[in-house]
Amino acid sequence: MTTCPRRARALALIAAVSAVALAFATPVAVADEIPLAPGHRLVEHYDGAPAAARPVPGDAPAQHPHLAPNGRSGMHADGAGSGTHPFSGPLGRDPKVSSEKIAAVGGECATVTFDAGGRLLTVCGTFSGFLLKLLDPRTLDTLAEYKLPQRSSTVEAITRLDFEKIFKDTSGGAYFYLDDRDRVVLADSRQHVLRIAHRQKPDGAWEFVVEDDWDLTPLVPHDCVSWTNLFPSGVCDPVTSVMPDWDGRIWWVTRLGRVGTVDPATGTLRSIRLSGEEIQNSFSVAEDGVSIVSDHALYSFRADADGTPRVQWRQTYDRGTGTKPGSVNQGSGTTPDLFGDGGSAGPYVAITDNADDRMNVLVYRRGVDVPAEQRLVCKVPVFGSGASTTDNSLISWGGSLVVENNYGYENPTTLTFGRSVVGGAARIDVRPDGTGCDTVWESDVRSPSTVPKLSTANGLLYFYEKRPNPLGVDAWYLTAVDFRTGKRAWQRLTGTGPAYDNNWAPITIGPDGTAYVGVFNGIVAVRDGG
């Protein structure tokens, strides 16, 4: 698509003003590095060789009209959940590592988005509550901060000494999105949906401003554990994720299977309940509908005229007989991937199941008029017998899918003393005629719990890896893998010890080519130095 000269000049002016504003921004807090645990001198800091950029041909997901540009808007990079970024990530040329420690304990920054000026907007988890932060992309200094309410799972963990509740909780704002006006939209732990802008004051300092606050408690049970309500007698149903549809309506889902909408123009709320089902993952949106996976089935939704969610179709899958180590609950751990819109046999939606012996990658046709017996395109088993699961979204590009194995990972204590997981990653391609799928390659990369990403500009997949270490050193690496072949290109040490465990946070590639990783104690940045 071409850009008219007037618009080009306007965009150039906006970019210049943004760059000046960024240069003179006054940090609220200067970044402190995350400390390295003992043993960092005993492990390799860099392995492999710099890669040459080889862009991957294909059509990017359609730009969602109510989200920030693709690659900048959320945990899964775009409305379709592709896990791809149009920016070239680090190629491994003398890569440099920096970090920001967010809290004394904890502080993990999960979802990372980027405003028009390239600044990071992220939500970081601490024991006192989630923090919405605006970070400088180079220094990681905090430019602005907004404190969100403490989650009930944190209070439960502290009062009942059951910290597993924190690691199994996906609510409170970890899944948020950046809209087309650079505003953060999230659901906090009070069951409120907030729309939050950031702006620069005359003195150069930045601040967050809540523009809208929609209270969902009339529709969502909210008798939750708190410091003033340690033993609630009612039901608490946390909101796990929010996303807009193509009409700008804000959709939200809860852990106990509620699916709802907010009309941002009127504040009207609507919802339905998927009885007996849980929703612990985020969801994806295309022009043809909203795709949501519960622990029982995959759904396609649209909204009626009054905003009430309506099921277009429902497809059950093999949910297995229990929760595997490496899964949040008994069911699919993936956010649906919407892809293949440009193909003759598409469009498709892909998830994984929770089959007992070997997890399967499932690809479905997503048209509303597809007969039930023709909806499934393929069911491909992946990884080893008795040791396969994933709780992270697939990567989708063209007709290709990439899946990683999270079997065995539970929380940052799982992999201490040099331990690792069985690991593995695989690429599955849908045949051009839609008659099935084929495994293209398998990799032994050990990426315990990250949301991996693909840079379509350079053809590299990025994983966050930990290998077994006989000396007991817990060394974490950003690992680049060739999308075409599945072979490692290079890996760079990010740090040592549990503080560098990413604990389900994604890798995110920034517009300036930096790869960011949320880790247990904050956030890490890796960028080429040469």
**What mean pLDDT is predicted for residues 416-432?**
97
Cis peptide before 347 (omega within 30 of 0): yes
DSSP string for residues in 38-97 = TTGGGS-SEEE-PPPP-PPPSPPPPPPTTBSSTTSSBTTSSTT---EESS-----SS-EE
Task: Indicate whether 33 belongs to any domain.
Answer: no
Task: Indicate whether 22 belongs to any domain.
Answer: no
Task: Indicate whether 364 belongs to any domain.
Answer: yes
Give the single-character DSSP code of 392: S
Q: What is the pLDDT of residue 26?
A: 62
Give the residue with greater pLDDT, 528 vs 126.
Answer: 528
Domain that holds residue 335: 39-527
Q: What is the pLDDT of residue 11?
A: 38
DSSP string for residues in 232-298 = -SS-B--EEEEEE-TTSPEEEEETTSEEEEE-TTT--EEEEE-TT----S--EEETTEEEEE-SSEE
2 band by pLDDT with thresholds 50, 70 and 90: very low
Task: Indicate whether 26 belongs to any domain.
Answer: no
Q: What is the pLDDT of residue 128?
A: 81
On the question of pLDDT at 344 being above 70, the answer is no
On the question of pLDDT at 5 being above 70, the answer is no
Residue found by looking up tokens 């997949």 in the block: 461
Structurally, the chain folds into a number of domains equal to 1
194 band by pLDDT with thresholds 50, 70 and 90: very high
Rounded to two decimals, the pTM is 0.93
**What mean pLDDT is predicted for residues 14-22?**
38
Q: In whole angstroms, what is the distance from residue 229 CA to residue 465 CA?
A: 41
Q: To the nearest whole number, what is the mean pLDDT of the chain?
A: 92
Q: What percent of the chain has pLDDT over 90?
A: 84
pLDDT tens-digit map of 67-126: 999 999 999 999 999 999 999 999 999 999 999 999 998 899 999 999 999 999 999 998
Q: What is the pLDDT of residue 30?
A: 83
Task: Indicate whether 9 belongs to any domain.
Answer: no
Give the single-character DSSP code of 504: T
Task: Indicate whether 6 belongs to any domain.
Answer: no
pLDDT tens-digit map of 214-249: 999 999 999 999 888 899 999 999 999 999 999 999
**What mean pLDDT is predicted for residues 155-168?**
75
**What mean pLDDT is predicted for residues 298-326?**
97
Task: Indicate whether 23 belongs to any domain.
Answer: no
Structure-block tokens of residue 168: 């199994």
Q: What is the pLDDT of residue 17?
A: 35
Radius of gyration, CA atoms only, the chain: 22
Task: Indicate whether 5 belongs to any domain.
Answer: no
CATH number at residue 428: 2.140.10.10
Helix and strand numbers, DSSP H then E, in the chain:
3, 34
